[in-house]
Amino acid sequence: MAERDQWIDLGAAAELAGKTLQPVEAGTVKIALSCINGAFGAVHNACNHVGGPLGEGALDGDYIICPWHQWKFHRVSGLGEPGFEEDRVPAFPVKVENGRVLLQLNPTKRQKKPHEPHPLVRPVERAPGPIRVAGISTTAMDKGAPRYSGSDDLLASALKGAEAQGCETQLIKLNDLKFRACEGYYSKAAHACTWPCSITQMRPKDELTPVYEALVHWADAVIIATPIRWGQASSLYFRMAERLNCIQNQVTTHNRVLIRNKVASFIVVGGQDNVQGVAGQMLGFFAELGFHFPQFPYIAHSRGWAAEDMERNVAEIRDSTDLHQGAAELAGRTVALAQRLLDSEPAARIARGGRKAHALD
Protein backbone atom coordinates (compact mmCIF):
# COMPACT_ATOMS: atom_id res chain seq x y z
CA MET A 1 0.00 0.00 0.00
CA ALA A 2 1.34 3.43 -0.86
CA GLU A 3 2.53 5.37 2.17
CA ARG A 4 -0.08 8.05 1.59
CA ASP A 5 -2.87 5.46 1.82
CA GLN A 6 -1.70 4.06 5.12
CA TRP A 7 -3.51 5.02 8.29
CA ILE A 8 -1.20 6.29 11.01
CA ASP A 9 -2.22 5.77 14.62
CA LEU A 10 -2.13 9.09 16.50
CA GLY A 11 -3.30 7.67 19.83
CA ALA A 12 -6.34 6.87 21.93
CA ALA A 13 -9.42 8.86 20.90
CA ALA A 14 -10.56 9.27 24.51
CA GLU A 15 -7.26 10.85 25.42
CA LEU A 16 -6.87 13.05 22.31
CA ALA A 17 -10.46 14.27 22.69
CA GLY A 18 -9.42 15.83 26.01
CA LYS A 19 -8.07 18.90 24.20
CA THR A 20 -10.04 20.85 21.60
CA LEU A 21 -6.82 21.78 19.80
CA GLN A 22 -3.29 20.44 20.07
CA PRO A 23 -0.16 19.88 18.00
CA VAL A 24 0.64 16.21 17.31
CA GLU A 25 3.14 14.44 15.11
CA ALA A 26 2.39 11.91 12.40
CA GLY A 27 5.84 10.59 11.59
CA THR A 28 7.79 13.72 10.69
CA VAL A 29 4.73 15.80 9.84
CA LYS A 30 3.37 18.24 12.41
CA ILE A 31 -0.41 18.31 12.61
CA ALA A 32 -2.89 20.66 14.29
CA LEU A 33 -5.41 18.15 15.66
CA SER A 34 -8.76 19.48 16.82
CA CYS A 35 -11.77 17.81 18.37
CA ILE A 36 -15.25 19.20 18.95
CA ASN A 37 -17.89 16.90 20.43
CA GLY A 38 -15.90 13.83 19.38
CA ALA A 39 -15.44 15.01 15.75
CA PHE A 40 -11.75 15.24 14.90
CA GLY A 41 -10.15 17.52 12.33
CA ALA A 42 -6.52 17.52 11.20
CA VAL A 43 -4.68 20.22 9.28
CA HIS A 44 -1.00 20.96 8.78
CA ASN A 45 0.49 22.72 11.77
CA ALA A 46 2.27 25.44 9.76
CA CYS A 47 0.22 28.58 9.07
CA ASN A 48 0.15 29.99 5.54
CA HIS A 49 1.35 33.38 6.69
CA VAL A 50 4.84 32.88 8.12
CA GLY A 51 4.56 29.39 9.55
CA GLY A 52 2.97 29.98 12.94
CA PRO A 53 2.13 26.80 14.87
CA LEU A 54 -1.63 26.38 14.37
CA GLY A 55 -1.88 23.57 16.90
CA GLU A 56 -0.84 26.04 19.59
CA GLY A 57 -3.57 28.49 18.63
CA ALA A 58 -7.19 28.63 19.76
CA LEU A 59 -10.54 27.71 18.26
CA ASP A 60 -13.19 30.19 17.17
CA GLY A 61 -16.06 27.81 16.38
CA ASP A 62 -14.67 25.58 13.65
CA TYR A 63 -11.80 27.94 12.82
CA ILE A 64 -8.30 27.66 14.20
CA ILE A 65 -6.86 31.06 15.12
CA CYS A 66 -3.11 31.15 14.46
CA PRO A 67 -1.34 32.15 17.69
CA TRP A 68 1.11 34.45 15.89
CA HIS A 69 -1.01 36.94 13.91
CA GLN A 70 -4.55 35.54 14.15
CA TRP A 71 -5.14 34.29 10.61
CA LYS A 72 -7.95 31.69 10.67
CA PHE A 73 -8.29 28.31 8.98
CA HIS A 74 -11.12 25.79 9.11
CA ARG A 75 -10.09 23.00 11.44
CA VAL A 76 -11.39 20.24 9.10
CA SER A 77 -11.18 21.60 5.52
CA GLY A 78 -8.11 23.83 6.05
CA LEU A 79 -9.83 26.68 4.17
CA GLY A 80 -9.23 30.25 5.23
CA GLU A 81 -12.05 32.08 6.97
CA PRO A 82 -14.95 33.38 4.85
CA GLY A 83 -13.59 35.82 2.31
CA PHE A 84 -10.16 34.20 2.44
CA GLU A 85 -11.07 30.69 1.26
CA GLU A 86 -8.38 30.85 -1.42
CA ASP A 87 -5.88 30.59 1.40
CA ARG A 88 -5.87 27.00 2.59
CA VAL A 89 -3.59 24.84 4.69
CA PRO A 90 -3.35 21.10 3.94
CA ALA A 91 -6.17 19.08 5.52
CA PHE A 92 -5.65 15.40 6.31
CA PRO A 93 -8.19 12.53 6.29
CA VAL A 94 -8.79 11.52 9.88
CA LYS A 95 -11.09 8.94 11.46
CA VAL A 96 -11.70 7.04 14.69
CA GLU A 97 -11.57 3.26 14.63
CA ASN A 98 -11.58 0.90 17.57
CA GLY A 99 -11.04 3.82 19.92
CA ARG A 100 -7.92 5.02 18.06
CA VAL A 101 -7.48 8.22 16.04
CA LEU A 102 -6.12 7.39 12.59
CA LEU A 103 -4.75 9.80 10.00
CA GLN A 104 -3.64 9.47 6.38
CA LEU A 105 -0.68 11.45 5.11
CA ASN A 106 -2.62 12.28 2.02
CA PRO A 107 -3.57 15.91 2.47
CA THR A 108 -5.25 18.47 0.28
CA LYS A 109 -2.88 20.93 -1.35
CA ARG A 110 -1.65 24.05 0.43
CA GLN A 111 -2.82 27.09 -1.43
CA LYS A 112 -1.69 30.63 -0.80
CA LYS A 113 -3.84 33.47 -1.97
CA PRO A 114 -1.52 35.94 -3.66
CA HIS A 115 -1.26 38.87 -1.26
CA GLU A 116 -0.08 42.21 -2.58
CA PRO A 117 3.32 42.66 -0.89
CA HIS A 118 3.47 45.58 1.53
CA PRO A 119 5.30 48.52 -0.11
CA LEU A 120 7.91 48.47 2.68
CA VAL A 121 9.05 45.02 1.55
CA ARG A 122 10.73 46.38 -1.58
CA PRO A 123 14.52 46.04 -1.76
CA VAL A 124 16.44 48.72 0.09
CA GLU A 125 18.07 50.76 -2.68
CA ARG A 126 19.10 54.34 -2.24
CA ALA A 127 17.40 56.58 -4.77
CA PRO A 128 19.77 59.13 -6.34
CA GLY A 129 19.74 62.68 -5.05
CA PRO A 130 21.19 64.86 -2.33
CA ILE A 131 21.66 63.66 1.25
CA ARG A 132 18.26 63.18 2.86
CA VAL A 133 17.76 63.92 6.55
CA ALA A 134 14.69 62.88 8.56
CA GLY A 135 14.00 64.67 11.82
CA ILE A 136 11.91 62.73 14.31
CA SER A 137 10.11 64.68 16.99
CA THR A 138 9.07 62.56 19.96
CA THR A 139 7.54 65.15 22.24
CA ALA A 140 3.92 64.56 23.29
CA MET A 141 1.49 67.39 23.71
CA ASP A 142 -2.17 68.29 23.28
CA LYS A 143 -2.53 69.15 19.59
CA GLY A 144 -5.50 71.34 20.44
CA ALA A 145 -3.35 73.47 22.72
CA PRO A 146 0.13 73.47 21.22
CA ARG A 147 2.97 75.02 23.20
CA TYR A 148 6.63 75.71 22.72
CA SER A 149 8.83 72.62 22.73
CA GLY A 150 12.57 73.00 23.30
CA SER A 151 13.40 69.67 21.65
CA ASP A 152 11.26 70.52 18.59
CA ASP A 153 12.79 73.98 18.32
CA LEU A 154 16.34 72.59 18.32
CA LEU A 155 15.30 69.91 15.85
CA ALA A 156 14.00 72.66 13.55
CA SER A 157 17.39 74.39 13.81
CA ALA A 158 19.16 71.12 13.00
CA LEU A 159 17.01 70.54 9.92
CA LYS A 160 17.59 74.14 8.81
CA GLY A 161 21.32 73.47 9.18
CA ALA A 162 20.98 70.38 6.99
CA GLU A 163 19.02 72.33 4.37
CA ALA A 164 21.71 75.00 4.34
CA GLN A 165 24.05 72.24 3.21
CA GLY A 166 21.81 71.32 0.32
CA CYS A 167 20.10 68.35 1.99
CA GLU A 168 16.50 67.34 1.53
CA THR A 169 14.74 67.17 4.88
CA GLN A 170 11.57 65.71 6.29
CA LEU A 171 10.08 66.29 9.73
CA ILE A 172 8.08 63.47 11.30
CA LYS A 173 6.18 64.28 14.48
CA LEU A 174 5.26 61.10 16.32
CA ASN A 175 2.58 63.13 18.08
CA ASP A 176 0.75 63.45 14.73
CA LEU A 177 0.70 59.69 14.10
CA LYS A 178 -1.74 57.16 15.54
CA PHE A 179 0.16 53.96 16.05
CA ARG A 180 -0.21 50.99 18.32
CA ALA A 181 2.26 49.90 20.93
CA CYS A 182 4.35 46.83 20.07
CA GLU A 183 2.31 43.78 20.98
CA GLY A 184 5.33 41.58 21.65
CA TYR A 185 5.05 39.12 18.75
CA TYR A 186 8.74 38.48 19.32
CA SER A 187 7.84 36.99 22.68
CA LYS A 188 5.71 34.34 20.93
CA ALA A 189 8.56 33.32 18.63
CA ALA A 190 11.45 35.13 16.96
CA HIS A 191 9.92 34.48 13.53
CA ALA A 192 6.54 35.86 14.61
CA CYS A 193 8.11 39.34 14.61
CA THR A 194 8.15 40.15 10.90
CA TRP A 195 9.32 42.84 8.50
CA PRO A 196 7.28 44.89 7.91
CA CYS A 197 5.98 44.91 11.47
CA SER A 198 3.10 42.45 11.96
CA ILE A 199 0.90 45.32 13.16
CA THR A 200 1.70 47.37 10.04
CA GLN A 201 0.73 44.42 7.86
CA MET A 202 -2.47 43.59 9.68
CA ARG A 203 -3.80 47.01 10.53
CA PRO A 204 -3.92 49.39 7.58
CA LYS A 205 -4.94 52.23 9.89
CA ASP A 206 -1.74 52.04 11.92
CA GLU A 207 0.30 55.14 11.06
CA LEU A 208 3.91 54.21 11.83
CA THR A 209 4.69 53.49 8.15
CA PRO A 210 6.23 56.94 7.46
CA VAL A 211 8.79 56.26 10.19
CA TYR A 212 9.71 52.86 8.69
CA GLU A 213 9.82 54.45 5.21
CA ALA A 214 12.16 57.17 6.38
CA LEU A 215 14.47 54.99 8.44
CA VAL A 216 14.80 52.05 6.07
CA HIS A 217 14.25 53.54 2.61
CA TRP A 218 14.31 57.33 2.31
CA ALA A 219 16.81 58.86 4.72
CA ASP A 220 20.59 58.85 4.75
CA ALA A 221 20.53 60.35 8.23
CA VAL A 222 18.05 60.76 11.05
CA ILE A 223 18.07 63.20 13.93
CA ILE A 224 15.85 62.20 16.83
CA ALA A 225 14.83 64.83 19.37
CA THR A 226 13.39 64.03 22.78
CA PRO A 227 12.51 65.75 26.00
CA ILE A 228 13.59 64.06 29.23
CA ARG A 229 10.67 62.61 31.17
CA TRP A 230 11.54 61.22 34.56
CA GLY A 231 15.09 60.55 33.54
CA GLN A 232 14.13 58.81 30.28
CA ALA A 233 13.35 59.66 26.68
CA SER A 234 9.67 60.45 26.03
CA SER A 235 6.98 57.76 26.09
CA LEU A 236 6.38 58.33 22.36
CA TYR A 237 10.06 57.64 21.70
CA PHE A 238 9.79 54.30 23.49
CA ARG A 239 6.54 53.45 21.74
CA MET A 240 8.33 53.98 18.42
CA ALA A 241 11.51 52.18 19.55
CA GLU A 242 9.59 49.06 20.55
CA ARG A 243 7.92 48.98 17.13
CA LEU A 244 11.38 49.23 15.49
CA ASN A 245 12.22 45.84 16.98
CA CYS A 246 11.11 44.34 13.66
CA ILE A 247 14.08 46.03 11.93
CA GLN A 248 16.59 44.68 14.42
CA ASN A 249 14.90 41.28 14.46
CA GLN A 250 15.55 40.80 10.73
CA VAL A 251 19.24 40.52 11.60
CA THR A 252 18.45 37.81 14.14
CA THR A 253 16.03 35.77 12.07
CA HIS A 254 17.23 36.31 8.50
CA ASN A 255 20.73 37.79 8.83
CA ARG A 256 19.24 40.69 6.91
CA VAL A 257 20.56 44.15 7.72
CA LEU A 258 17.98 46.73 6.65
CA ILE A 259 19.91 49.76 7.88
CA ARG A 260 23.25 50.26 6.15
CA ASN A 261 25.41 53.32 5.66
CA LYS A 262 23.01 55.51 7.57
CA VAL A 263 23.73 57.95 10.37
CA ALA A 264 21.78 58.82 13.52
CA SER A 265 22.24 61.66 15.97
CA PHE A 266 20.22 62.98 18.88
CA ILE A 267 18.90 66.06 20.65
CA VAL A 268 18.06 65.65 24.34
CA VAL A 269 16.61 68.40 26.50
CA GLY A 270 14.91 68.33 29.86
CA GLY A 271 14.13 70.20 32.99
CA GLN A 272 15.90 67.72 35.16
CA ASP A 273 18.96 65.63 34.54
CA ASN A 274 20.02 62.27 33.16
CA VAL A 275 21.15 63.51 29.77
CA GLN A 276 23.86 60.86 29.60
CA GLY A 277 21.47 58.06 30.51
CA VAL A 278 18.93 59.14 27.87
CA ALA A 279 21.57 59.62 25.19
CA GLY A 280 23.18 56.30 26.16
CA GLN A 281 19.93 54.41 25.69
CA MET A 282 19.29 56.04 22.32
CA LEU A 283 22.84 55.39 21.13
CA GLY A 284 22.67 51.77 22.23
CA PHE A 285 19.34 51.17 20.55
CA PHE A 286 20.15 52.86 17.25
CA ALA A 287 23.49 51.04 17.18
CA GLU A 288 21.54 47.76 17.34
CA LEU A 289 19.47 48.90 14.37
CA GLY A 290 22.68 49.34 12.37
CA PHE A 291 23.17 53.12 12.38
CA HIS A 292 26.53 54.88 12.42
CA PHE A 293 27.19 57.92 14.61
CA PRO A 294 29.16 61.08 13.98
CA GLN A 295 31.79 62.17 16.46
CA PHE A 296 29.89 63.83 19.35
CA PRO A 297 26.55 62.32 18.27
CA TYR A 298 24.21 64.35 20.51
CA ILE A 299 23.58 67.78 21.88
CA ALA A 300 21.71 68.28 25.10
CA HIS A 301 20.53 70.78 27.64
CA SER A 302 19.47 70.42 31.23
CA ARG A 303 19.66 72.71 34.23
CA GLY A 304 19.86 69.82 36.66
CA TRP A 305 17.80 68.14 39.31
CA ALA A 306 17.08 71.18 41.45
CA ALA A 307 15.79 73.33 38.56
CA GLU A 308 12.05 73.12 39.15
CA ASP A 309 11.32 76.45 37.44
CA MET A 310 10.62 74.82 34.08
CA GLU A 311 9.61 78.02 32.36
CA ARG A 312 13.24 79.14 32.60
CA ASN A 313 14.42 75.94 30.85
CA VAL A 314 12.15 76.75 27.99
CA ALA A 315 13.34 80.36 27.85
CA GLU A 316 16.97 79.28 27.98
CA ILE A 317 16.58 76.98 25.00
CA ARG A 318 14.50 79.43 23.00
CA ASP A 319 16.96 82.29 23.55
CA SER A 320 20.24 80.39 23.35
CA THR A 321 22.21 81.12 20.22
CA ASP A 322 24.74 78.51 21.34
CA LEU A 323 22.19 75.72 21.48
CA HIS A 324 20.62 76.52 18.11
CA GLN A 325 24.03 76.85 16.53
CA GLY A 326 24.99 73.57 18.22
CA ALA A 327 21.94 71.91 16.64
CA ALA A 328 22.98 73.15 13.20
CA GLU A 329 26.52 71.90 13.84
CA LEU A 330 25.18 68.52 14.94
CA ALA A 331 23.38 68.34 11.60
CA GLY A 332 26.65 69.30 9.91
CA ARG A 333 28.55 66.43 11.56
CA THR A 334 25.70 64.05 10.79
CA VAL A 335 25.49 65.01 7.12
CA ALA A 336 29.28 64.94 6.70
CA LEU A 337 29.42 61.35 7.93
CA ALA A 338 26.43 60.36 5.78
CA GLN A 339 28.25 61.79 2.77
CA ARG A 340 31.48 59.95 3.67
CA LEU A 341 29.57 56.69 3.96
CA LEU A 342 27.90 57.27 0.62
CA ASP A 343 31.23 58.05 -1.01
CA SER A 344 32.95 54.98 0.42
CA GLU A 345 32.76 51.44 -0.89
CA PRO A 346 29.98 49.74 1.10
CA ALA A 347 31.10 46.73 3.11
CA ALA A 348 29.90 43.58 1.37
CA ARG A 349 28.87 41.91 4.60
CA ILE A 350 29.34 42.84 8.22
CA ALA A 351 29.95 39.94 10.57
CA ARG A 352 27.91 40.46 13.72
CA GLY A 353 29.02 37.88 16.25
CA GLY A 354 28.80 37.56 19.99
CA ARG A 355 25.38 35.95 20.24
CA LYS A 356 26.13 32.37 19.41
CA ALA A 357 25.11 30.89 22.75
CA HIS A 358 21.42 30.92 21.90
CA ALA A 359 21.54 31.16 18.12
CA LEU A 360 18.29 30.31 16.35
CA ASP A 361 18.13 26.96 14.62
Give the nearest distance from C-beta 71 to ligand FES in angstroms. 4
Give the nearest distance from C-beta 185 to ligand FES in angstroms. 9
Count Cβ atoms below 10 Å from residue 9 Cβ, excluding itself.
12
Percent helix, strand, coil in the chain, to 5, is: 35, 25, 40
50 binds ligand FES (CB under 6 A): yes
* Cα–Cα distance, 54 to 67 (Å, whole number): 7
* Cα–Cα distance, 236 to 241 (Å, whole number): 8
Sole binder of ligand FES in the list 40, 68, 212, 266 (CB under 6 A)? 68
197 binds ligand FES (CB under 6 A): no
52 binds ligand FES (CB under 6 A): yes
| Count of residues that interact with ligand FES, criterion CB under 6 A | 10
In this complex, which beta carbon is closest to ligand FES, that of residue 185 or of residue 286? 185
Sole binder of ligand FES in the list 13, 24, 47, 214 (CB under 6 A)? 47
**Burial class of 186 by CB neighbour count within 10 A (0 to 12, 13 to 18, 19+):** buried
In this complex, which beta carbon is closest to ligand FES, that of residue 45 or of residue 248? 45
For ligand FES, which stretch binds (CB under 6 A), given 33-41, 66-74, 274-282, 312-320? 66-74
179 binds ligand FES (CB under 6 A): no
178 and 237 in contact (C-beta within 8 Å)?
no
Alpha helices in 139-295 (DSSP H): 150-164, 185-188, 198-202, 209-212, 235-243, 245-254, 275-289
* Cα–Cα distance, 350 to 347 (Å, whole number): 7
**Burial class of 359 by CB neighbour count within 10 A (0 to 12, 13 to 18, 19+):** exposed
For ligand FES, which stretch binds (CB under 6 A), given 68-76, 142-150, 325-333, 340-348? 68-76
Give the nearest distance from C-beta 310 to ligand FES in angstroms. 46
In this complex, which beta carbon is closest to ligand FES, that of residue 54 or of residue 131? 54
66 and 48 in contact (C-beta within 8 Å)?
no
* Cα–Cα distance, 319 to 325 (Å, whole number): 11
In this complex, which beta carbon is closest to ligand FES, that of residue 51 or of residue 210? 51
186 and 205 in contact (C-beta within 8 Å)?
no
In this complex, which beta carbon is closest to ligand FES, that of residue 81 or of residue 329? 81
169 and 135 in contact (C-beta within 8 Å)?
yes
49 binds ligand FES (CB under 6 A): yes
3-class SS of residue 243: helix
Amino acid identity of residue 334, one-letter, is T
Sole binder of ligand FES in the list 26, 31, 32, 69 (CB under 6 A)? 69
168 and 129 in contact (C-beta within 8 Å)?
yes
For ligand FES, which stretch binds (CB under 6 A), given 8-16, 49-57, 208-216, 340-348? 49-57
In this complex, which beta carbon is closest to ligand FES, that of residue 69 or of residue 292? 69
66 binds ligand FES (CB under 6 A): yes
44 binds ligand FES (CB under 6 A): no
For ligand FES, which stretch binds (CB under 6 A), given 64-72, 102-110, 279-287, 346-354? 64-72
Q: Which of 328, 155, 331 is nearest to 237 (CA)?
A: 155
In this complex, which beta carbon is closest to ligand FES, that of residue 70 or of residue 209? 70
Sole binder of ligand FES in the list 40, 63, 71, 298 (CB under 6 A)? 71
Give the nearest distance from C-beta 68 to ligand FES in angstroms. 4
Q: How many residues make up the chain in this entry?
A: 361
For ligand FES, which stretch binds (CB under 6 A), given 3-11, 44-52, 134-142, 207-215? 44-52
The residue ranges that bind ligand FES (CB under 6 A) are 47, 49-52, 66, 68-71
